[in-house]
Amino acid sequence: MGIVELLLIAVGLSMDAFAVSICRGLGMRQLNLRTAAVLALFFGGFQALMPLVGWALGSQFMWLIEPVDHWVAFVLLAFIGGKMLWEAFHEDADEDCGCEDTSGIDLREFLVLAVATSIDALAAGISFAALSVDIVTTVTLIGVITFALSFAGVAVGHFFGARYEKPASVTGGVVLILIGLKVLLEHLGVLAL
């Protein structure tokens, strides 16, 4: 898997954190950069940690996965992308975004949000084991990109409102599905890239 695909996966996986960050920014009466940085650290850290855990688990069962690794990668990435698309079109944005002031730092809430938004990255980590990617580079990219997009998401939410939350989730979902399809088609010999 090339660097472009890894970057696209990192962006796709970070879209949930980006959407939640927008919601946090919506509730800020004044933009609080310290809160944005702490939230982004939680999101980036967990988005990097979870695929590492998934990769470690997947590596232990590689002898079972290897004959069907391309199908595993496709199913997991398509599932994650499909879930993101489903949520983008079927959840009311007002349900996820509380209107209370969110400019303070609540570490317990940040932990819960970070775990909730990084569960998909755990499944992606299993597919990374199947694809034999360089896990250090991959989790570093995912963590850094998620940090940057989460920090930016707070500012976007504060300044522009929720209009970018749905397009971000749709884009992330489509990207993950297309990458999963590309992996499958390459392994089946349909695409020779």
135-190 pLDDT, tens digit each: 999 999 999 999 999 999 999 888 875 566 677 777 767 877 887 787 788 778 78
Domain that holds residue 129: 3-187
Six token digits for residue 57: 């688990």
SS3 113: helix
Six token digits for residue 169: 């989730």
Q: 154, 25 in Cβ contact below 8 A?
A: yes
Six token digits for residue 2: 């090339």
Per-residue pLDDT, 34 = 92
Please give the Cα distance from 22 to 17 (Å, whole number): 9
What is the per-residue pLDDT across 117-139, written as a single tens digit (0 to 9) for each?
887 788 888 888 878 788 999 99
- Asked, for residue 49, whether it belongs to a domain, the answer is yes
- Asked, for residue 166, whether it belongs to a domain, the answer is yes
- Asked, for residue 193, whether it belongs to a domain, the answer is no
Q: How many CB atoms lie within 10 A of CB 98?
A: 12
Q: 39, 148 in Cβ contact below 8 A?
A: no
- Asked, for residue 192, whether it belongs to a domain, the answer is no
Amino acid residing at 30: Q
Please give the Cα distance from 65 to 54 (Å, whole number): 13
For residue 116, is pLDDT > 60? Answer: yes
| Structural domain count of the chain | 1
Six token digits for residue 15: 């879209």
Report CA Rg, the chain.
17
Highest average pLDDT, of 28-32, 43-47, 85-89, comes from 43-47
What is the per-residue pLDDT across 3-30, written as a single tens digit (0 to 9) for each?
888 888 899 888 888 888 887 887 777 8
